[in-house]
Amino acid sequence: GNSVTQMEGPVTLSEEAFLTINCTYTATGYPSLFWYVQYPGEGLQLLLKATKADDKGSNKGFEATYRKETTSFHLEKGSVQVSDSAVYFCALDRRRALTFGSGTRLQVQP
Amino acid sequence: GAGVSQTPSNKVTEKGKYVELRCDPISGHTALYWYRQSLGQGPEFLIYFQGTGAADDSGLPNDRFFAVRPEGSVSTLKIQRTERGDSAVYLCASSSQGGTRGDNEQFFGPGTRLTVL
């Protein structure tokens, strides 16, 4: 079946540090891939997406590249801010529904 | 514009009771999804509606769970004979069109936190 595996958190970084959150997936066919973010006290929001191999999704300084050969969709940001503190979820679509990873909590310290 | 809304925001009930959770999708969105999120986990798919019909209910854990969307807009998730293991945050999402790769951007509501004592 389809599944998503994310690195466990929490990830604690200082402001302006480089961020990588690893995500790998198992799926039949060629799913679309997503990163969702959940800020404290708020609902899930779509951060970025990629729909086919080698696509790069980007938003708010975050990037992720759809790597079919390694079945990965790692999230990166060159310089994190305190306001990026949140829980990040990697997800893939599965016949219209999303399959999520377990989430990675990011804490950015000033 | 208005996003997805869910009521109630919190629901506390006793084991064995019946509960209903409501979701109001974004106006005009034809696809509606229910997910369940346990503490420290990602959301898990329960059921997906396209219009009034349930297109995929493969995520419902057992026959105590049922959902309806009679007019293709508001949806209600119904849980009979609640158990302590049903305690979780129940999330609703909607999208403008279900199932199209790349266009399946789902907009999530704030969730209903269900606690079964």
CB contact under 8 A, B42 and A100: yes
Is the predicted pLDDT of residue A8 greater than 90, yes or no?
Answer: no
Q: Which of B103, B106, B112 to mutate to test the interface with A (most CBs of A within 10 A)?
A: B106
Q: How much is the pLDDT for B66?
A: 96
A61: left (phi over 0), alpha (psi -120 to 50) or beta: left
Q: What is the DSSP letter of A67?
A: B
| B109 to chain A: closest CA residue | A43
Q: Which of A47, A48, A94, A96 to mutate to test the interface with B (most CBs of B within 10 A)?
A: A96
Picking from B45, B99, B110, the nearest residue to A99 by CB comes out as: B45
Q: Determine the distance in angstroms separating the CA of B40 from the nearest CA of chain A, rounded to an integer.
A: 7
- B102 lies within 8 A of chain A by CB: yes
> Letter for the amino acid at A10?
P
CB contact under 8 A, A100 and B40: no
What are all long-range contacts of A56-64, with beta carbons under 8 Å and residues at least 24 apart?
Answer: A57/A33, A62/A35, A64/A23, A64/A33, A64/A35
The beta strands (E) that lie in chain A are given as 3-6, 11-14, 19-21, 23-26, 33-38, 44-50, 56-59, 62-65, 75-77, 86-94, 97-100, 104-109
Mean confidence (pLDDT) of chain A: 94
B46-88 pLDDT, tens digit each? 999 999 999 899 999 999 999 999 999 999 999 999 999 999 9
Q: How much is the pLDDT for B1?
A: 55
Nearest alpha-carbon partner for B60 in B81, B25, B36, B83: B36
Q: Who has greater pLDDT, B114 or B103?
A: B114
First-to-final CA distance of chain B: 37
Q: What is the band of B98 on the pLDDT scale with cuts at 50, 70, 90?
A: low
CB contact under 8 A, B105 and A96: no
CA distance B23 to B114: 14
Is the predicted pLDDT of residue B102 greater than 70, yes or no?
Answer: no
Q: What is the mean pLDDT of residues A9-24?
A: 96
Chain B positions touching A93 (Cβ under 8 A) are 101, 104
Q: Who has greater pLDDT, A76 or B106?
A: A76
Q: How much is the pLDDT for B76?
A: 98
B13-44 pLDDT, tens digit each? 999 999 999 999 999 999 999 999 999 899 99
CA distance A76 to B102: 21
Q: What is the mean pLDDT of residues B4-16?
A: 97
CB contact under 8 A, B42 and A42: no
Is the predicted pLDDT of residue A1 greater than 90, yes or no?
Answer: no
Q: How much is the pLDDT for B2?
A: 82
The strand pair at A11-14 and A104-109 is best described as: parallel
